[in-house]
Amino acid sequence: MKAGEVTPERAREFARSWSVYRRETRNPLWMSPEELAGLQERNLRRQLELAARFSPYYRELFRRERVEVDKVQSLGDLERIPVTPLEAYLRNPLAFLLAVDPPGELDATYEITYTSGTSTGTPAPFFNTTYDMYNITLAMRRTAEICWMTPRDTLLNLFPYGNLPHIGFQRTVHLASSVGMRLVNALTGRDAPGFPLHRTLDEALELAAGHRATVLAGMGRQVRRFILRGEQAGADLSSVRVILSLGETVTEGMREEMRAHLTGEAARAFVVNGYGFTEFQGSFVECCESGGDHNPAPDLYHLEVLDPRTLRPLPEGELGLLALTHLDRRGTVLLRYLVGDLAALERGACPHCGRVGERLVIRMGSTYAVRADKVIRVDGRLVNPEAVRNQLAAVRGVVEYQLVVEKERPGDPLSPDRLTLRLSVAGRLRQDLEKEVVARVREAVGITPHIEYVQSPEIYDPSRILKATRIVDRR
């Protein structure tokens, strides 16, 4: 789906034409903004009441900080509650689990998924009750609706089947099940000793071809590798029409590249770039390419974007720290939780499909969200190094690369910054490659880099260091 192809009429018509979507008569995404705000505020008040009574962490926080919970009546009053740092949750995840007493029929602990534990190491458990699972499954059905999936689709789940339950694999199961489409789990990943379960890329390709998969779902890089290998191996992926490419920045160029390596209907596939994390129990997804990433469950999750210095809410569209507030959960509950990512969001009806609730919007090159500790600032612009890496991984001839940020006039604090891309190249003419590289980096980060050619050991000398240094900040 390209932005120009999606209109509110078309999206509504699509949602009405499938009984599986029609049956959710109170889908918050199709409410009026006022109706949605009313629902969110009712949910918020009940959530705060539950947190004040049954959450060890918030009971203590409200007491210590003298938070008067009954004064928080609307989303606008949320500032009365202090933010919850990521570290507080990782340090003691059990303190965020509601101990509802006496437990009701839907209060049993049903499932645990784990955070990916990227920057801090240890993955933290996140608890879902039965009530949460039903809500999540509904949210996954809305996710499928936003991405134009139908009960006639066949989904190939490429997410790794790993040692810890992770939302990538788990939620994809619910995505397909909630709609009633066919689901094929590829079980990618590595076998644990004595458990010969996992499939290779080629076996997954065989499954995709054999089942005539119409939807591929996986991590960005993994899906890309799958498609490239498929072309090489001559696997028939021509039925693919939706590619759910999650977790990493997918630029326009990468979407085109995926299509270029597919044939038939698949050469026109809709490449969805989603962004998800465990505490959100799903993914933000696009209704059209680069058109914004929808929150599929604004009744369950409220988002704020905060100024990184003051932690005050920023106006719509501005880039800042993403904070998540659970509105209707019974297992792990987090309020104004700092996810650790930078993002920008808009509220109100989507200009493309007309659905309401938050949408993350692109403010850094092609990136919806990035870990705050990973970005670098170049002349006031935020650069996501991961987006550069993804872009350069696709360029033939690039052996090693390194980004260097420095002052144009060294020693002068007022000097503008300069971004230099140091490249080592093999098997391709420099002038051919340079144009492509400059264009790709510009697309990823919005800055035109200077190019400098070097020999690989200047960036990465395996005899001296274990890993290449990808970013050097000389300011």
Decide if residue 29 touches Zn ion (CB under 5 A).
no
Contact stretch for Zn ion (CB under 5 A) within 131-139, 161-169, 352-360, 372-380: 352-360
Contact stretch for Zn ion (CB under 5 A) within 149-157, 267-275, 300-308, 343-351: 343-351
User: Which residue lies nearer to Zn ion by CB, 145 or 304?
Assistant: 145
CA dihedral defined by 457, 460, 466, 469, rounded to 10 degrees?
150
Tell me which residues in 237-276 interact with Zn ion (CB under 5 A).
Answer: none
386 contacts 249 by C-beta, under 8 angstroms: yes
CA distances (Å), 389 to each of 249, 251, 386, 447, in order?
Answer: 10, 12, 5, 15
- Number of Cβ atoms within 10 Å of the Cβ of 31: 19
Decide if residue 350 touches Zn ion (CB under 5 A).
yes
Q: How far is the CB of 264 from Zn ion (least distance, A)?
A: 27
Decide if residue 142 touches Zn ion (CB under 5 A).
no
Contact stretch for Zn ion (CB under 5 A) within 281-289, 324-332, 341-349, 407-415: 281-289
User: Which residue lies nearer to Zn ion by CB, 165 or 351?
Assistant: 351
User: Which residue lies nearer to Zn ion by CB, 183 or 246?
Assistant: 246
Count, residues near Zn ion per rule CB under 5 A: 4
Q: How far is the CB of 413 from Zn ion (least distance, A)?
A: 43
Decide if residue 287 touches Zn ion (CB under 5 A).
yes
User: Which residue lies nearer to Zn ion by CB, 224 or 355?
Assistant: 355
Q: How far is the CB of 355 from Zn ion (least distance, A)?
A: 5
Q: How far is the CB of 167 from Zn ion (least distance, A)?
A: 22
- Buried-state track 147-173, b at ≥16 Cβ within 10 A, e below 16: bbbbeebbbbbbbbbbeebbbbbbbbb
Contact stretch for Zn ion (CB under 5 A) within 46-54, 97-105, 109-117, 351-359: 351-359
- Number of Cβ atoms within 10 Å of the Cβ of 293: 26
For 357-409, where are the alpha helices, taking DSSP H only?
A: 385-393
Both structure tokens of 122? 């240890």
158 contacts 303 by C-beta, under 8 angstroms: no
User: Which residue lies nearer to Zn ion by CB, 6 or 201?
Assistant: 6
The gap from C-alpha 169 to its chain's centroid, in whole angstroms, comes to 14
Q: How far is the CB of 356 from Zn ion (least distance, A)?
A: 10
Q: How far is the CB of 342 from Zn ion (least distance, A)?
A: 22
Residue 427, class by beta-carbon neighbours within 10 Å (0-12 exposed, 13-18 middle, 19+ buried)? exposed
User: Which residue lies nearer to Zn ion by CB, 303 or 350?
Assistant: 350
97 contacts 332 by C-beta, under 8 angstroms: yes
x/- binding map, residues 47-76, to Zn ion, per CB under 5 A? ------------------------------
CA distances (Å), 219 to each of 225, 239, 475, in order?
Answer: 10, 20, 34
In the list 352, 363, 422, 440, the residue contacting Zn ion (rule: CB under 5 A) is: 352
Best CA proximity match to 254, nearest among 387, 361, 155 = 387
Alpha-carbon span 339 to 6, nearest angstrom: 31
What angle is formed at CA 367 by the lines to CA 365 and CA 369, rounded to 5 degrees? Answer: 140
Decide if residue 139 touches Zn ion (CB under 5 A).
no
User: Which residue lies nearer to Zn ion by CB, 243 or 372?
Assistant: 243
Contact stretch for Zn ion (CB under 5 A) within 25-33, 275-283, 347-355, 394-402: 347-355
Alpha-carbon span 211 to 318, nearest angstrom: 44
For residue 243, which phi and psi values (nearest 5 degrees)?
A: -120, 110
Q: How far is the CB of 358 from Zn ion (least distance, A)?
A: 11
Decide if residue 353 touches Zn ion (CB under 5 A).
yes
The kind and range of the H/E element at 457 are helix 456-459
Give the type of residue at 397: G
User: Which residue lies nearer to Zn ion by CB, 189 or 351?
Assistant: 351
The kind and range of the H/E element at 39 are helix 33-54
Contact stretch for Zn ion (CB under 5 A) within 94-102, 220-228, 342-350, 388-396: 342-350
Alpha-carbon span 66 to 320, nearest angstrom: 27
Contact stretch for Zn ion (CB under 5 A) within 91-99, 255-263, 286-294, 435-443: 286-294
Q: How far is the CB of 272 from Zn ion (least distance, A)?
A: 11
221 contacts 159 by C-beta, under 8 angstroms: no
**Residue 8: strand, helix, or coil:** helix
Q: How far is the CB of 313 from Zn ion (least distance, A)?
A: 23
User: Which residue lies nearer to Zn ion by CB, 262 or 353?
Assistant: 353
For residue 378, which phi and psi values (nearest 5 degrees)?
A: -125, 110
User: Which residue lies nearer to Zn ion by CB, 48 or 360?
Assistant: 360
Point out which residues bind Zn ion (CB under 5 A).
287, 350, 352-353
